[in-house]
Amino acid sequence: MDAALTALVTGAKGFIGRNLVVALRRRGVTVAEIDVDSTPADLDAAMAASRVVFHLAGVNRPDDDTEFVSGNVGSIEAVVEATERLRVRPAVVLSSSTQAAVDNAYGRSKLTAEQVLEAHAKRNGASVTIYRLPGVFGKWCRPNYNSVVATFCYNIARALPIKITDPANALELVYVDDVVAQFMTHLGEEPAGLRRAEVSPVFRTSLGELAKLIQGFRAMRTTLEFPDVGDPFTRRLIATYNSYIEPANLAYALEQRSDARGTFAELAKSPTFGQIFVSRTRPGVTRGDHFHDSKIEKFCVLEGDAIIRFRSILGTEVTEHRVSGSEFKVVDIPPGMTHSIQNVGATEMIVLFWASEVFDKSRPDTYFEEVLRV
């Protein structure tokens, strides 16, 4: 990255602005931040040094509709006026809204802001890119303001009520990191003229489905049931939800089951990846002595020393694997082989287990048979 590159971000203290500023600085870009507490002189100084302007400043929840014009139109007019007065031609990237196609006070102000930049591109040969964004979600968005995702995540994480007027209400959303990644493509030389661009992927859901997913994230601590994080929207949404958990509440205890052998606790489970659990086993104790018809497992000793034994239920030959917590070695457990794990060390043994299926009491697929026949 060119160390001399300076980018100007208006609305730098807002939701998208904060995410963009962090990403720009991580890339080694010098960032000039402009927000509501900045002066015209601040804007001039930043404009004179900047190669690209990301115009994110705007108003979407004013006390009076007239503020839409001053906030959304006036702010971009100030940027254009400064470029002309200072005789500089930075590329300008505008964060507009899909509401620009809607005939309301907010939409009209966003459309007018676009038109101001269109005229600037034609009049001055400037490089202008306009993005009409749908709802944007992600970390650092203000809850209980104008983002239903932020509001649901914040309230549900705190066991506060949420309001759903119409569960079928359709939503179109983009993720803030996808927005930032797309904006970062404008750090190179930009051709003159007007362009319109889009951020992808766009996720489509409903108000009811959104609430259901987020409520499921909160319930994970008791159900241990993970959502399908292979789904791009779910993966982004759960990251957003976790960013709204209060730091003091990030840790939580697992339910433990104890007996003479030691302690056992489930960590996570899902129909898509199976089940993860952990156990503590006392010295000399053996766990297992059973086999599965279809279920497979993986054992990883995290602490202590163990012997894992196998025997085909159709034969008599026993295979042994000695493993230690210092190795982080994984042992596969195939079906049709009875198996056991014995703590052969002098201290407690800690083992991490993965199973290909979530345990089902009605169909456990677990059958007792000693590995070592007397």
Predicted confidence (pLDDT) per residue in 241-285, tens digit: 999 999 999 999 999 999 999 999 999 999 999 999 999 999 999
pLDDT computed for residue 58 by the predictor = 84
Residues in the chain with pLDDT values less than 50: 1
Rounded to 5°, the CA angle 360-361-362 comes to: 90
pLDDT computed for residue 1 by the predictor = 44
319 forms bridges with which residues in the sheet? 310
List Cβ<8 Å contacts ≥24 apart for 241-249. 241/153, 241/156, 241/157, 241/214, 241/217, 242/217, 243/138, 243/139, 243/140, 243/153, 244/143, 244/150, 244/153, 244/154, 244/157, 245/157, 246/157, 246/158, 249/157
Whether omega for the bond prior to residue 335 falls within 30 degrees of 0, making it cis, is: no
CB 117 within 8 A of CB 72: no
Predicted confidence (pLDDT) per residue in 296-313, tens digit: 999 999 999 999 999 999
Contacts of 189 (CB under 8 A, 6+ apart): none
CA 30 to chain centre: 26
pLDDT computed for residue 181 by the predictor = 98
> Which residues are identified as catalytic?
106
Contacts of 328 (CB under 8 A, 6+ apart): 300, 302
Separation CA 67–CA 71 (nearest Å): 6
Contacts of 147 (CB under 8 A, 6+ apart): 15, 135, 136, 137, 141
- Cα R_g (the chain), whole angstroms: 29
pTM above 0.85, yes or no: yes
pLDDT computed for residue 70 by the predictor = 77
Residue 294 is given by DSSP the state S
